[in-house]
Amino acid sequence: KPEDIDVMLAGDLLNQIVTSNYAARQLNIPFLGMFSACATVMEAVAVAAVLINSHYVSNALVAVSSHHSTAERQFRYPTEFGGQKPETASYTVTGSGAAILNNQPSAIRVRQATIGQVVDMGVTNPLDMGSAMAPAAAKTLINH
């Protein structure tokens, strides 16, 4: 129930994380907006775990969502152009996910989180986000 949640941490791929703001408005609980593009869900989980471990909250809702057409319009190659994309082009899913983290002992838990760094290799092709993100992902995994 919303009244059992101490804080909502959520994000999406729209300007001003508007979808998450609309959801938070409906739930009427404290809200922290998250934005780390593809890493938003893990950013929210890490921050929620810190809030719980620090005894600031007992129950945290984390949520993310994305919509293919809106993300394409904002970040990559506007659908309205009608241009063909290469088969290797990145694709944003239309989907969402949510979880509730709490301070109850469980076999499923957040033990640690490794926060990544920006690694800019100069990739500028908006249809190839994998090549742009891979160096930072690799560095984060190695550091972990």
C-alpha to C-alpha distance for 41 and 32, rounded to whole angstroms: 13
Residues 92 and 121 in one domain: no
Is 69 or 61 the better-scoring residue by pLDDT?
61
pLDDT at 76: 66
Structural domains counted in the chain: 2
Q: Say how many C-beta atoms besides its own lie within 10 A of residue 90's C-beta.
A: 20
What pLDDT digit, counting tens, does each position of 5-36 carry?
A: 999 999 998 888 999 999 999 999 999 999 98
Residues 9 and 59 in one domain: yes
* Residues in Cβ contact with 50 at an 8 Å cutoff, skipping those fewer than 6 apart: none
C-alpha to C-alpha distance for 77 and 64, rounded to whole angstroms: 22
Domain span at residue 118 reads 114-144
Mean pLDDT is lowest, of 25-29, 92-96, 106-110, for 92-96
What pTM does this model have? Answer: 0.86
Burial of 106 (0-12, 13-18, 19+ CB in 10 A): exposed
Residues 77 and 97 in one domain: yes
